[in-house]
Structure 1
Amino acid sequence: MDYLLLKYIHVLGAIVILGTGTGIAFFMLMAHRTQDAAFVARTAGVVVVADLLFTASAVAIQPVTGYLLADMMGVPLGSGWLGLALALYVVAGAFWLPVVWIQMRMRDLARSAAASGQALPQAYHRLYRIWFLCGFPGFGSVMAILWLMIARPAL
């Protein structure tokens, strides 16, 4: 495969991960602020689909394109900035995977509350706090990876 095409696909994957993550966080936060169970349920439903469709696809493509690029450039996977980027990728994934499940559970709790005409339950609010806190290391890792990809610092 052509180096520039492979790099384009890799960068596009990074953009999708960062953009989808940012959009999901924004829409979930804004829906949560309304405390409207029906609105939260609809928003969380769309967020889950977006995460599974866009984020998961890009997350699957990144290691493949990254490996191929490293191989073409002759950069060992565990060395320097690339080794740190891979470690951060694992950190991001360790926070993203539970977040997907949390979003599904928040969606289900909001749907149940909306169907019964009740407020969002305590279980929803507990999950929301966990979801919110997971965003910092998960999103921070992705931001750091992007910087490492661009700067390629000598480490």
Structure 2
Amino acid sequence: MVHRPVSGVRLDYLLLKYLHVIGAIVLLGTGTGIAFFMLMAHRSKDAAFVARTAGVVVTADMVFTATAVIAQPVTGYGLAEMTGVPLWEGWLGLALILYGVAGVFWLPVVWIQARMRDLARDAARAGRELPPAYHRLYRIWFVLGIPGFGSVLTILWLMIARPAL
């Protein structure tokens, strides 16, 4: 089977769509990686390891996740404008609502990760175990990650399936 390029597709549209897909990959990939590494560090119960891991996680969130969080609505808006898809209708409207939900859960998670890092650093410097405040924050971090990450997964499905809603 021979695949031919779709005629009439503008290069600017393809570039914008490419950037939008890259942003989605970064959000999903960084979120998955952060969750995995934080979980593994937490399970070690080693305060120094948790502190180092959480430090990297906070940096990754600021560099990768924050960049994608800004790029996604910009590229998504451009795509909607180019294709004439109404922003607040159907699958796109639901995706935008879920994007807000993800943000509501992500913002406190960023602060919690930084606080967990600081608590782990203090414990490591003092040669102590991770304090109860760290464990309380970890449970909150874990619970907030479920709807936040679930929203991102659902948005990705909506972008691919574009169901009639």
Common topology (TM > 0.5): yes
Q: Aligned to 1:147, which of 144, 152, 157?
A: 157
Could you tell me how far apart the structure 2 residues matched to 1:26 and 1:114 are?
21
Answer with 1 or 2: which has the greater Rg: 2
In structure 2, the residue corresponding to 1:53 is in which secondary structure? helix
1:40 aligns with 2:54: no
User: What's the counterpart of residue 35 of structure 2?
Assistant: 25
- Map Cα deviations across residues 6-62 of structure 1 (whole Å, 9 max, x no partner): 000000000000000000000000000000000000000000000000000000000
**Structure 2, gaps ≥5 residues long:** 1-10
After TM superposition, which residue ranges in structure 1, 4 or more long, deviate above 4 angstroms?
A: none
Matched length: 155
In structure 2, the residue corresponding to 1:91 is in which secondary structure? helix
TM-score by length of 1: 0.99
Could you tell me how far apart the structure 2 residues matched to 1:61 and 1:140 are?
20
TM-score by length of 2: 0.93
Q: Aligned to 2:110, which of 96, 100, 104?
A: 100
Q: Percent identity?
A: 79
1:82 aligns with 2:85: no
Pairwise CA RMSD of aligned residues?
Answer: 0.6
User: What's the counterpart of residue 55 of structure 1?
Assistant: 65
